[in-house]
Amino acid sequence: MALIIQKFGGTSVANPERINDVAERIARYHKSGHQIIAVVSAMSGETNKLIGLADEMMQNPDPRELDMVISTGEQITAGLTALSLIDKGIQAKSYTGHQLGITTDSSFGKARIMDIDTKILKKDLKQGFVVVVAGFQGLDKVGNITTLGRGGSDTTAVAIAAAIKADECQIYTDVDGIYTTDPRVVPEARKLNSITFEEMLEMASLGSKVLQTRSVECAGKFKVPIRVLSSFDIKGDGTVITFEEDKKMENPIISGIAFNRDEAEVSVRGVPDTPGVAYQILGPIADANIDVDMIIQNVGESGATDFTFTVHKRDLKETMDILNEKVKAKINAREIMGDSKVAKLSLVGVGMRTHAGIASKMFKVLSDEKININTISTSEIKISVILEEANLDNAVKALHKAFELEKG
């Protein structure tokens, strides 16, 4: 007998038939002797619909009230899933995050889980109930309903798994696992049987949308074993997220190629090379709460530097305004450039730590394809480049082939 958390995403509970299918699956596991806590998302499209309703009431809705509204989607699917289970003869009880004692901080719309009280969960499991939990939500210390950010039900599931020391946290979604890259771009992309937690963290934060990044961070911190599976196929072992010390894992040099089209590139040209310049450029950007991703600085022969960084596309205009109005004259920069027609591509693999020449091979492949690289940055287990968005698909295809990711 194992204690299993099963999380079902929006497409898995999109309508009554699918909720019935989900309940069937939970019932099967339960009947074979496992204890199950199911965490559900809102029906797909529901959270967007609720945000739309809030927008109709007020421009930039008040964050506390917005969370009040958008937390309701999950409550509905939790109740419906429990009803379907009861109808199948399974004892089941559903709870909202607040009923269960999921305590968060007070950052509405992106709250962090501080504590989960496992008393109710343990009592119900002991009595043979399947517990169904509304994902994506909690309660702050003073009793406000909060939500955990888009995709936050993943984090609810992982956090519960950590708190109750579950044997496995299964994330059911509309794909059957984690792929070497997006199969819509590279049809030969291969499902991975396993991926290390660090690689998954990179893949998630670099744009692979299968898991919320914070859920992966949480899994890493508490060593929660996660398995990503399709809710539409009964067989299939999905992809297991392992920890590096696990000797059984497959260990290719490169595990995958992540990309995203959400970033824009900003360049501050001809900046005098003096101490404090980086701070003078990025300070006002940080003050405006704009996240900066890649940062590159280079000193040219003239002693002037070019300072380049990336921000989310939606923040490009504000970033340019800040630089033009508050920074340019102050630091005596020659010009400020912004480009939103770029994309970021990253090669990810723990094997990079021990294998030389990955970067040069990557750059050769791109050069053979006549694809220009604007910006490069690396970490121990990834190499990221910014290139023209129009070249992204070709670059992903060529690299996937060159690194033989389809072979495994």
Q: Which of 61, 97, 135, 220 binds ligand ASP (CB under 6 A)?
A: 135
Read off the tokens for 365.
């492949």
- With the CA atoms of 219, 224, 229 and 235 taken in that order, what torsion angle do they form, in degrees rounded to the nearest 10? 170
Residue 67 binding target from ligand ASP, Mg ion, none, CB below 5 to 8 Å by type: none
Positions of E strands within 31-183: 35-40, 92-95, 102-104, 113-116, 130-134, 137-139, 145-147, 168-173
CB of 291 to ligand ASP, least distance (A): 19
Of 151-190, binders to Mg ion (CB under 5 A) are 151
CB of 149 to ligand ASP, least distance (A): 8
Q: How many residues bind ligand ASP (CB under 6 A)?
A: 13
Separation between Cα atoms, residue 295 and residue 319, nearest integer Å: 14
Q: Which is nearer to ligand ASP, 154 or 265 (CB)?
A: 154
CB of 293 to ligand ASP, least distance (A): 22
Nearest to 98, CA basis, from 124, 133, 64: 133
Using only C-alpha atoms, the chain has a radius of gyration, in whole angstroms, of 23
Count helices and strands (H / E) in the chain: 14, 20
Nearest to 40, CA basis, from 23, 17, 52: 23
**Is residue 244 within 8 Å of 199, Cβ to Cβ?**
no
The single residue listed with the structure tokens 């009964």 is 234
Q: Which of 4, 6, 9, 203 binds Mg ion (CB under 5 A)?
A: 9
Read off the tokens for 67.
């969370």
Q: Which is nearer to Mg ion, 6 or 310 (CB)?
A: 6
Mark the segment that binds ligand ASP (CB under 6 A) among 122-130, 147-155, 298-306, 390-398: 147-155
CB of 214 to Mg ion, least distance (A): 12
CB of 45 to ligand ASP, least distance (A): 9
Of 32-71, binders to ligand ASP (CB under 6 A) are 41-42, 47
Q: Which of 8, 11, 73, 195 binds ligand ASP (CB under 6 A)?
A: 73
Separation between Cα atoms, residue 31 and residue 299, nearest integer Å: 66
Alpha-helix residue ranges (DSSP H) falling in 71-128: 72-87, 97-100, 119-126
Separation between Cα atoms, residue 53 and residue 68, nearest integer Å: 12
Q: Which is nearer to ligand ASP, 9 or 349 (CB)?
A: 9
CB contact burial 94-115 (16+ within 10 A = b; e otherwise) = bbbbbebbbbbeeebbbbbbee
Residue whose C-beta lies closest to Mg ion: 151
Mark the segment that binds ligand ASP (CB under 6 A) among 144-152, 261-269, 365-373, 394-402: 144-152
Of 300-359, binders to ligand ASP (CB under 6 A) are none
Under rule CB under 6 A, residue 10 binds ligand ASP: yes
Q: Which is nearer to ligand ASP, 150 or 190 (CB)?
A: 150
Under rule CB under 6 A, residue 151 binds ligand ASP: yes
Under rule CB under 6 A, residue 153 binds ligand ASP: yes
CB of 384 to ligand ASP, least distance (A): 26
CB of 140 to ligand ASP, least distance (A): 18
Q: Which is nearer to Mg ion, 150 or 269 (CB)?
A: 150
> What values do phi and psi take at 310, rounded to 5?
-120, 150
- Contact residues for 153 (Cβ-Cβ < 8 A; gap 6+): 7, 9, 39, 40, 41, 74, 135, 136
Mark the segment that binds ligand ASP (CB under 6 A) among 30-38, 76-84, 88-96, 150-158: 150-158
Binding site for ligand ASP (CB under 6 A): 9-10, 41-42, 47, 73, 135-136, 150-154
